[in-house]
Amino acid sequence: MAKCAFLGLGVMGYPMAGHLVAAGHEVTVYNRSVEKAVSWSQEHGGTHRGTPREASEGADFVMACVGNDDDLRSVCLGDDGAFSGMAAGSVFVDHTTVSAAVTRELFGEADRQNVSFVDAPISGGQAGAENGQLSIMCGGDEGAYARAEPIMQSYAKICRRIGDSGAGQLTKMCNQIAIAGLVQGLSEALHFAEKAGLDGRAVVEVISQGAAGSWQMANRYETMLDDQWEHGFAVDWMRKDLDICLRTANETGASLPVTALVDQFYKDVQKLGGGRWDTSSLLKRLQALD
């Protein structure tokens, strides 16, 4: 089994690091909030360190799941960053959703230090992380991916290399673009059913078995109908991701009219005080228009 470090113990990273221990790996963790790292160590029996560098020293694989581009740079670079503590030949695996630009930047910096870098953003939400059923989309060198893939299987439903550095992040953008449209469509369908005097649950029971069915419908319609918005990925984080998608679309020449519109709808949800509500709260925006 491998010696691993895990940097970032949020709602995704905390259970993911636990799955590594359950799979038999030796795990050292780092978290900006020390209390979370202490709690994780007490629960899972691993160790914790005070800086990314200290956590990464001697590790074969260093996993990270933090917030954004700047957070990722901060755990990778500098005297206390992970790259300073990693040995030549080790592999850094980034599970954060960030821009392809920062991924390629850090890939180059890691390469200069004889460290491999795999971008490996994840999808599946908190439940996927807790159940070890994440979809992992990867970019980077084939050899580095081949070494890291068995480790990632500790918390993966599917794990696949899409292409060179940045390809994982670009694939995650496709994921978020698809989700944005699906959630808006589901919200409109439930809103329409309510206005038409229909039983929303009965409607979903029927239409979910046909062409309208989706993961969002199967996993979110009940909480949406129950006016519960604390069951998934937060609106604030979704807007961060959609901003990455839209900026990248401008760079590549892609047209994303629906994504741009739904991003503005999420802005409306934030104005309602729903920045920490989950992404299905687009229905709440429609209800607020009544």
Residues acting as catalytic residues: 172
Sign of the torsion formed by the C-alpha atoms of 259, 262, 266 and 267: positive
| Secondary-structure percent of the chain, ordered helix, strand, coil, rounded to 5 | 55, 15, 30
Tell me the β-bridge partners of 139: 119, 163
What token pair was written down for 207? 């239409």
CA distance 287 to 187: 10
CA distance 283 to 190: 8
CA angle 41, 57, 29 (to 5 degrees): 20
Count CA within 13 A, CB hemisphere, residue 176: 32
User: How many of the other CB atoms lie within 10 Å of CB of 148?
Assistant: 25
Which H/E stretch holds residue 119? strand 116-119
Q: Which residues are within 8 A (CB) of 117 and not within 5 positions of it... i.e. 6 or more apart?
A: 91, 92, 94, 103, 106, 107, 110, 111, 140, 144, 165
What token pair was written down for 121? 């953003």
